[in-house]
Amino acid sequence: MNRTEHLLACLAEECAEVQHAVAKALRFGLDDGYPGAASTNAQDIARELNDVLAIVTMLEDEGILDCPADREAIEQKMARVGEYMGYAIQCGALTPNVK
């Protein structure tokens, strides 16, 4: 394994840790946390997202990835998610106006 592969493995691992923290929040709530742990599931998600950003920064610093924040792409994704929320409401899979 070379350095690029190692960093890509780190990125995959950190993305999986985001998934894990999000799944815990979905199962037990954002304000809950592991018994005995000082952090909430919401804080765990934030920490893991920062871990992802750290690895992305390393990949960028080494010239492996080039992924500057693309506001237009972000806004397009936000619009698509909003559209699919409407569809999910129509399907009865999402309760409207409930956080």
Chain residues that interact with Mg ion, rule: CB under 5 A: 14, 17, 48, 51
Q: How far is the CB of 54 from Mg ion (least distance, A)?
A: 9
Q: How far is the CB of 50 from Mg ion (least distance, A)?
A: 8
Q: Considering the complex, state which of residue 14 and residue 59 has its C-beta at the smaller distance from Mg ion.
A: 14
Q: Considering the complex, state which of residue 32 and residue 51 has its C-beta at the smaller distance from Mg ion.
A: 51
Q: How far is the CB of 10 from Mg ion (least distance, A)?
A: 9
Q: How far is the CB of 33 from Mg ion (least distance, A)?
A: 15
Put residue 33 in one of left, alpha, beta given phi > 0 → left and psi -120 to 50 → alpha: beta
- The 3-class secondary structure across the chain, one letter per residue, is CCHHHHHHHHHHHHHHHHHHHHHHHHHHCCCCCCCCCCCCHHHHHHHHHHHHHHHHHHHHHCCCCCCCCCHHHHHHHHHHHHHHHHHHHHHCCCCCCCC
Q: Considering the complex, state which of residue 53 and residue 79 has its C-beta at the smaller distance from Mg ion.
A: 53
Q: Considering the complex, state which of residue 10 and residue 64 has its C-beta at the smaller distance from Mg ion.
A: 10
